[in-house]
Amino acid sequence: MEAFFISTAIVALAEMGDKTQLLSLVLAARYQKPWPIVLGILVATLANHALAGAAGAWVTTVLGPQALRWVLGLSFIAMAVWMLIPDRLDDEESEGAGPRLGVFGTTVLAFFLAEMGDKTQVATVMLAAQYHAWLWVVVGTTLGMMLANAPVVWLGDRLVRRVPIRVVHLVSAVIFLVLGLLALFAPQATPLA
């Protein structure tokens, strides 16, 4: 359950002010149909994070425990730094899908593509590798995405303006830094002989 709770919290915090949250705002303002947008976000996130979680699980089969420890530790620290860099939504990302797919299809496609290489996707890979709990990580990161994005679809601008995004990013950066330091320096369990 730790993997679920950590994954939910980290992604919900990391998503605040992220380009996919901005995309949620754009889609809500453009189409004004919250249910198909929220369902599209859910489907896109599940697909994207399932692939990312599978990549994280695969990494653990390729790297030995010491190499994995260093890769994870340094990756979490890099994520801490990345959290301090503000995101913006590029015009081509919000315009690419077009309305002919319908609100749901446009949301799925735009959200899936915007999430490629995003902080939360990278975090999902690292968390799946760290916890060896693919399902719980994917469910947790998906819930975190929904907690951050669904209210934006319904409440829009009002919610985003009231949340101090810079503080949320700083808290997220500290959490990623702590996870990185723990991965690098926490005592490792030794197998029983």
- Give me the pLDDT at residue 88, please: 58
Q: What is the pLDDT of residue 163?
A: 59
Within a domain: 155: yes
117: tokens are 């290489």
Running DSSP on this structure, what letter comes out for residue 17? Answer: T
Answer whether residue 153 is part of any domain: yes
% residues pLDDT > 70 (the chain): 82
Residue 163 lies in a domain: yes
What burial letters (b/e) apply to 169-182, b meaning 16+ CB within 10 Å?
A: bebbbebbbebbee
When divided into structural domains, the chain yields a total of 1
Q: Is residue 191 part of a domain?
A: no
Kindly list the distances between the CA atom of residue 4 and the CA atoms of 1, 10, 85, 142, in Å, as whole numbers in the listed order: 5, 10, 26, 10
Tens-place pLDDT, residues 71-88 = 878 877 887 787 677 655
Residue 175: CB partners within 8 Å, gap ≥ 6?
9, 10, 13, 80
Domain enclosing residue 93, as ranges: 2-185
Position 94 pLDDT exceeds 70 = no
CA gap 191, 193 in Å, rounded: 6
Nearest-angstrom CA–CA distance, 179 and 173: 10
d(CA 146, CA 48) in angstroms, rounded, equals 13
- Whether 92 maps to a domain, the answer reads yes
Whose CA is closest to 84, among 161, 148, 165, 181?
165
In-domain check, residue 169:
yes
The predicted pLDDT at position 69 comes to 81
Domain contains 190 = no
**192 within a domain of the structure (yes/no):** no
Kindly report the CA angle at 162 between 160 and 164, in degrees rounded to 5? 85
The answer to whether residue 191 scores a pLDDT higher than 50 is no
Q: What are phi and psi of 88, to 5 degrees?
A: -135, 155
pTM (2 d.p.): 0.75
